[in-house]
Structure 1
Amino acid sequence: MGFNPAVLFKAPEINPITHKARSIPFFNIINLYGRVFFFSWFGFFVAFWSWYAFPPLLNDIIKKDLNLTKTDVANSNIIALCATLIVRLIAGPCCDRFGPRYTFAGTLLIGAIPTFLSGTAYTRNELFALRFFIGILGGAFVPCQVWSTGFFDKNIVGTANAIAAGFGNAGGGVTYFLMPAIYTSLLKRGLKPHTAWRVSFVVPGIIIIVVASCLILLCEDTPVGKWSERHRAAEENLAAHGVQAKLVDAPTGGITDKVSNDGTNSPPSVSGEKIQYDATGDRKTSTYADHEAQLTEQQMLDTARGEIVVKPSVKDVFGVMFSPHTLVTAFCYFCSFGAELSINSILGTYYQQNFKKLGLTESGDWAAMFGLLNVVCRPIGGIVSDLLFRNFHNVWVKKVLLHTLGVLTGVFLIVIGVLNPKDQSTMFGLIAGLAIFLEGGNGANFSLVPHVNPHANGVVSGMTGATGNFGGVMFAVIFRYNSYPKSFWIIGVITIAMNLGLCWIPPISKKQIGGR
């Protein structure tokens, strides 16, 4: 069946076991799922905008005002990635413990503080400190993906995660338009450059506060309500299909064949019905033969068990983080997202270096293209991954796609580095081609992540996201000590080698329950 545009507006069909949506009501923010999806991507968008608000102004205005050297600028770009690495590692377990919505809002609110203080930097060290703490906002990626994973079913979760992250990452491109525009408008109002760039950071700070407040006031933790009640809701879902089970909220817990002892009566069986939500998000049912509703009792138990996130112990966190299946997604993201972050930081300067006629504004506009292509390229990676999974019903196809995109990314990086194009059309065309495979790989990666250790999705997402950031730091160091062309081909070689070295590891463990 082909794509029906109506699914972008109407309330989605719901998996009756997990209550996750099977389509994305992209233009229906009144609906519960549409509202959560909107704030998932828009929350990360404003976080990314503020996180990368410095580069558009740094290489010219701020560099001149603070008397920075080229080395100082490069070091500040590296420092901006360090806090994000730490926060992403912490945010993963926090999502599993407290829920992604409050982790998301907390990350935004904490990151808003140094954003407002950006204008107080008057020395190199003060700039480094502020950029470090603003890097907290980059950690918003983890709850963005975990929250999205919790609301969308396996058939569409790769697409949902890729679009949310792709639209969010576009904040790194939009900032090349927004920050110079805000700065210029302040100059026209009579402010001096010394003051105008400082005041410009107030704008993203205000928007971050507004979005974080909306996350708290207008959205839900899970499709069934509070994060703390997710286990009981799952038990009721099973009971509605005639399966009595007790979910234990502990890392070592699972589903047993015991009747729930909460004293409530089991809802009547609705086997064979498909649950939907109306425009306001209220639950309703319709008679529609559903696959999950016709599973055996054990299959429904395994489905529920595989979807429920448990509170992780320290031992469980490290066990999941360093499992070979998590390391595959982590180090593939090291290459793809790490390259994206480091290239975002230098691309405008690289264009100015190769094309002397481009000024600050025009080079920034062309550099923005690389980030803005996330709106298209990252979703394509997730969409293709989901389509392959729906056709082959095997997680291996997602992994094969991920490594294929990784190798092609490496090829483009090497070509750019070797050619070092002096022709604008060639350079911009190669960068656009690079974006297709690199950003598509990011989308394919977080299409695979929900299948890997789904009981600890926050930990897997946090480890993968943090390792991607670690790649950004390492590749930024390569750019720091080498010419831009040489750095491109070095990163390309690393990307190809790492993908080929990881391609033999199975996508998920044979012993894993859920995620298949």
Structure 2
Amino acid sequence: MSTAGVDQGKINLLSFTGKMRTLHITWFAFFISFVVWFNMAPLMGYIRETLELTNQEVKLLLILNVALTIPARIIIGMLVDKYGPRIMYSMLLAISSILCLLFAFADSFEAMAILRFMLGFVGAGFVIGIRLVAEWFPAKQVGTAEGIYGGWGNFGSAAAAMSLPVIALWFGGDDGWRWAIASTGIIALVYSFIFYFSVSNNPKGTTYFKPKQMGAMEVTSKGDFYLYCIMSLPLYLTLALLAWKMSPTNLGLFNTMETGIIYMGLATIYAYQVFQIFRINKELFAANAKPVAEIHRYKFKQVAVLDLAYLVTFGSELAVVSMLPLFFFDTFKETQGLTIAMASLLASGYAFMNLVSRASGGIISDKYGRRKTMLILLTGLAIGYFLMGMIDSSWSLVLAVAVCMGCSFFVQAGEGAVFAMVPLVKRRMTGQIAGMAGAYGNVGAVCFLTVLSFVSPQAFFMTIGAAALVTLAIVFFFLDEPKGYMYEALEDGTVEKIELH
């Protein structure tokens, strides 16, 4: 394996040089993007009161917040593989800061809905950091490094839940929540410049592998081509589900004609995506096609299983983080006298576990095996959500918070386990693979939040638990443990061997 330029030393969290400097700068960029992305949830009680929103309008805002991230992560995954993480993360933070400021001072539900939908773009930042961290750390450490990146970055949602209600009170007045949200946008804008001048795409002496073509992932067999097309479909069906939610059948934000146009548009885009997949991989269908050389093959089923695992891990986290402050407030406001600020603080315990749990998933995967780790964590996740489904006003707050934090450990450690494997599938397409897995996380969030709009929170938690059991079976039967090496061709035609263990 070529290791020129790659720091093989141990991970020292107190270090701020070399690969550790890149890791710290990158996880903080992700942290800020998560603060911006989830600055609405802990302040939703104030927003609901100021704009006199209905419960359905509140739930729609929660769904819109995670919807655009589905295509954004796919697109950003392609762009980061092509142009590199440095410019892409800087641009993402700068653009999202402007959207954040506009949202902070929106004065109607319609404006808020549009801007919240657009702000889902910031959630694609996760994909950028995955590729950057994978460039700086060797395979035997990548699970741990990605876990630290994801876990400490995801903690941004907990930080938002704990701090923004206090900041809103500090500003005071009816517009305190607006200034609290605006402050996160200003921080994102400043850090976009700091990030640009502080990182490089890869260590000196290493190669930044890029896809041969843009538009879709390369696959290495006809079977994988068909599986890729099938796995792309839910990304569009989820957006169609969102359109249906806003159609005359439900909230009535769109009329019948507008809804139909959206459906046709999504069908057209999916057909174009299938065409792009074929264009990139048409050699597989040539009359004189030869099988792809063994050393360059990878199994797309690995990508598909990781997509589904991320759907129930990160997808459930997004959904729960979005609704948990209001769930605690509505459940315990009468029996425990809970305030909005206190409910947000208690709900932050769910995301607080990111500080250790996601990194733990990566560490355990690196040390004991990635498939085995994922099976154990999905089992714990399912049990945790079934327990959360039993929480009601008769519970003590201490027990309710303890169950939530226990469940969140398995959820976030499971996320770490997924992305301990993503960089080991095919290096030059790490951004695209991470983008697709990340998009499936948002597919899960939209689907779970849509379920929440029709059922009680308890049934919502039970639904996630059931989905986790199905995914557990899929992982057990179809996921392979990464072993040996993967190979990437350099521009001069030579082949580089990259260790997978």
Q: 1:24 aligns with which of 4, 8, 11?
A: 11
Residue 369 of structure 1 is matched in structure 2 by: 349
Hey, what's the Cα distance between the residues in 2 that align with 1:360 and 1:515? Answer: 50
Shift in Å, 1:323: 1.8
Residue 41 of structure 1 is matched in structure 2 by: 27
Residue 393 of structure 1 is matched in structure 2 by: none
Residue 170 of structure 1 contacts residue 375 of structure 1 at CA under 8 Å; is this kept in 2?
yes
Shift in Å, 1:336: 0.5
Residue 435 of structure 2 is matched in structure 1 by: 462
User: Residue 159 in 1 paired to residue 144 in 2?
Assistant: yes
Residue 493 of structure 1 is matched in structure 2 by: 466
Residue 482 of structure 1 is matched in structure 2 by: 455
Residue 380 of structure 2 is matched in structure 1 by: 408
Hey, what's the Cα distance between the residues in 1 that align with 2:18 and 2:398? Answer: 45
Q: 1:425 aligns with which of 387, 392, 398?
A: 398
Hey, what's the Cα distance between the residues in 2 that align with 1:133 and 1:321? Answer: 35
Structure 1: which 4+ aligned runs deviate by more than 6 Å?
Answer: 319-322, 508-511
- After superposition, the C-alpha distances for 1:359-382 in whole angstroms (9 at most, x for unaligned) are 111111100111111001111111
- With over 3 angstroms needed to count, the CA separation of the structure-2 counterparts of 1:179 and 1:87, relative to structure 1, is same
User: Residue 325 in 1 paired to residue 325 in 2?
Assistant: no
Shift in Å, 1:455: 2.7
**Paired residues, number:** 411
Residue 166 of structure 2 contacts residue 341 of structure 2 at CA under 8 Å; is this kept in 1?
no
- After superposition, the C-alpha distances for 1:430-465 in whole angstroms (9 at most, x for unaligned) are 111101111110111111111112231111111111
Residue 311 of structure 2 contacts residue 444 of structure 2 at CA under 8 Å; is this kept in 1?
yes
Residue 505 of structure 1 is matched in structure 2 by: 478
User: Residue 134 in 1 paired to residue 134 in 2?
Assistant: no
- With over 3 angstroms needed to count, the CA separation of the structure-2 counterparts of 1:324 and 1:81, relative to structure 1, is same
**What amino acid maps onto 2:24 in structure 1?**
F
Q: 1:250 aligns with which of 212, 217, 225?
A: 212
Instruction: Select the structure of larger CA radius of gyration.
Output: 1
- After superposition, the C-alpha distances for 1:121-171 in whole angstroms (9 at most, x for unaligned) are 111111101111111111100001111111011111101100111011000
Hey, what's the Cα distance between the residues in 1 that align with 2:125 and 2:324? Answer: 24
- With over 3 angstroms needed to count, the CA separation of the structure-2 counterparts of 1:79 and 1:23, relative to structure 1, is same
Residue 22 of structure 1 contacts residue 152 of structure 1 at CA under 8 Å; is this kept in 2?
no
Alignment of structure 1 residues 271-420 onto 2, 5 Å: 315=280, 323-356=300-333, 357-388=337-368, 397-418=369-390, 420=392
Residue 70 of structure 2 is matched in structure 1 by: 85
- With over 3 angstroms needed to count, the CA separation of the structure-2 counterparts of 1:209 and 1:15, relative to structure 1, is farther
- After superposition, the C-alpha distances for 1:304-339 in whole angstroms (9 at most, x for unaligned) are xxxxxxxx996269x999921101111100000011
Q: 1:220 aligns with which of 200, 204, 222?
A: 200
SS, match of residue 68 in structure 1: coil
Hey, what's the Cα distance between the residues in 1 that align with 2:382 and 2:211? Answer: 43
- After superposition, the C-alpha distances for 1:377-417 in whole angstroms (9 at most, x for unaligned) are 111111111112xxxxxxxx201211221122011111221
SS, match of residue 118 in structure 1: helix
Residue 224 of structure 1 contacts residue 230 of structure 1 at CA under 8 Å; is this kept in 2?
no
Residue 211 of structure 2 contacts residue 428 of structure 2 at CA under 8 Å; is this kept in 1?
no
Residue 167 of structure 2 is matched in structure 1 by: 182
SS, match of residue 121 in structure 1: coil
SS, match of residue 53 in structure 1: coil
Hey, what's the Cα distance between the residues in 1 that align with 2:352 and 2:63? Answer: 22
Hey, what's the Cα distance between the residues in 1 that align with 2:192 and 2:281? Answer: 30
Shift in Å, 1:18: 5.9
Shift in Å, 1:499: 1.9
Residue 103 of structure 2 is matched in structure 1 by: 118
**What amino acid maps onto 1:337 in structure 2?**
F
**What amino acid maps onto 1:413 in structure 2?**
Y
- With over 3 angstroms needed to count, the CA separation of the structure-2 counterparts of 1:21 and 1:98, relative to structure 1, is farther
Gaps of 5+ in 1: 1-13, 232-247, 254-311, 389-396
Hey, what's the Cα distance between the residues in 1 that align with 2:281 and 2:182? Answer: 41
TM-score norm. by structure 2 comes to: 0.77
- With over 3 angstroms needed to count, the CA separation of the structure-2 counterparts of 1:344 and 1:36, relative to structure 1, is same
